[in-house]
Structure 1
Amino acid sequence: MTEATKAREDICRIAKSMFDRGLTCGASGNISVRLSDGNYLVTPTGSSMGFLDPAQISHLDQNLRHLSGDKPTKEIPLHSAFYDTRAQTGAVVHLHSTYSVALSMLPDIDPDNALPTLTPYGIMRLGKVKLLPFFLPGDAAMGEAVRALAGTRSAVLLANHGPVVAEKDLWTAVYAMEELEETAKLAVLLHSMEPKTLSDQDVQAVARKFGVNW
């Protein structure tokens, strides 16, 4: 099995799993993977992540020119911003997951660190998550906002839209995305209860132990 064939199958299998568990719905969400030759595989525009066909996954060259498959997601500028600013990026996952979107709309969220420090795992897998302002879907300005972060963040939360995670490979990106959504769920459920978060000392200890840039 070639690298591209395996990546196509992994994209479809992972996307269906997330769809089946309600992490994305309808034709929302998109995934991209950078292959070792510098080309990209990207989920098609207007497609449901629950019903992807490996043969229809978009294939783009290093300059993001469409080579084969269906037309790629309109969020290509968002994905490419992570690839261009974070050399270690091998995959990008973007969802419209319910609790992350809900968290992005709460009025007292810290835009520099949108996820409260409720568990060590959000820190370990995501570091600080930047809350970006609202952009129209497909707006190239989303990509410019990510580029302005200069590769310092592996995850962002788009206001009233959803989370985006970039990681070294597809599985790591998915695990981080799921951690983001679970932490957002805790934050929303506990929002009115003033939960006890990890102390600054605890946060720094986690960051040091797991090599997180905090």
Structure 2
Amino acid sequence: MTEREAREQLVEVAASFHRRGLSPGSSGNLSVRLPDGFLCTPTNASLGSLDPRRLSKLDEGGAHVSGDPPTKETFLHLAMYGQRPDANAVVHLHSPFAVAVSCLADLDERSVLPPITPYFVMRVGKLPLVEYVRPGDPKLGEAVANVARSHACVLLANHGPVTSGRTLGEAVNAAEELEETARLYLTLRGQALRVLTSEQIDELRRVFGAHWPDE
């Protein structure tokens, strides 16, 4: 993919998130890795009205090179890229059902959502909760980095999800699957859940390479 194609795809995906209410206001930010750095969405920008020519470009060290000033949460993206060499895209949303789950008390911080569906296991994997740190504080990047090596997706407490993927499409699919699973989980709260068994999860590991650690 050329840089021009990456810019156009990033804007298209961002607009889709905004239309569907997954990034209200000026919330949410996306990025893709380039051969010479990164493209990311600008700070205080609505994902529904981005200009591909004005996307922020960063060098390989994360310094701003061109375009509008980058999202103030650039460190979240750099933390994921730094710990996951195979990641070429990162999506951070304030999608409502995932945010709602992130505000619940007594969550299992090692695995916030149970394995309700095979698609959650395959596309998201075991989802850890990252402790609350105020938005814009670089310490949040450090907290993400502590778990990103073994998890492609995380949930920020009282904040929202961060997903990564080998392609932008993969990161987007993970973000959408996470939001759908959060919706199902909240819908089913108080009911007896039938989750996937360890044998069924093992089969997803073998057939699809799903990442769901036993510990």
TM-score exceeds 0.5: yes
Question: Which of residues 45, 48, 61 is equivalent to 1:47?
Answer: 45
Deviation at residue 150 of structure 1 after TM alignment: 5.5
2:173 equivalent in structure 1: 175
Counterparts in 2 of 1:120 and 1:150: CA distance versus 1, 3 Å: closer
Cα-to-partner distance string for 1:57-100 (whole Å, 9 max, x where unaligned):
00111111111110000111111011111100100000000000
Distance in 1 between residues matched to 2:153 and 2:36, nearest whole Å: 22
Distance 2:175 2:187 in 1: 18
* Whole-angstrom distance in 1 between the partners of 2:148 and 2:118: 25
Check 1:206–1:132 CA distance in 2 against 1; reply closer, same or farther (3 A cut): same
1:66/1:88 CA distance change after superposition, 3 Å: same
CA 1:158/1:150 → structure 2, altered by over 3 Å: closer, same or farther?
A: closer
- Corresponding position of 2:19: 20
Looking at structure 2, the residues matched to 87 and 56 of structure 1 have their Cα atoms a distance apart, in angstroms, of 26
The secondary structure found in structure 1 opposite 2:134 is coil
Superposed CA RMSD: 1.2
- The corresponding residue for 1:73 is 71
Q: Give the letter for the 1:199 counterpart.
A: T
User: Which residue matches 1:141?
Assistant: 139
Q: Distance in 2 between matches of 1:141 and 1:110?
A: 22
C-alpha distance in structure 1 between counterparts of 2:26 and 2:177, whole Å: 22
Q: For residues 147 and 178 of structure 1, what CA distance do their matches in structure 2 show?
A: 22
Matching of residue 8 in structure 1 with residue 7 in structure 2: yes
Q: Which residue of 1 aligns with 2:110?
A: 112
Letter in 1 for 2:44: G
Q: Which runs of 4+ in 1 moved over 6 A?
A: none
The TM-score with structure 1 as length reference comes to 0.95
SS in 2 for 1:115: coil
Unmatched segments (≥5 aa) in structure 1: none
Determine helix, strand or coil for the equivalent of 1:25. Answer: coil
Q: 1:213: how far off?
A: 2.8
1:31 maps to amino acid? L
Correspondent of 2:186 among 185, 188, 207: 188
Match of residue 212 from structure 1: 210
Amino acid at match of 2:3: A
Greater mean alpha carbon deviation, residues 78-87 or residues 190-199: 190-199
Give the SS at the match of 1:101. helix
Deviation at 1:105?
Answer: 1.7
Q: Which amino acid is 1:138 matched to?
A: G
Rounded Cα–Cα distance in structure 2 between residues aligned with 1:150 and 1:123: 17
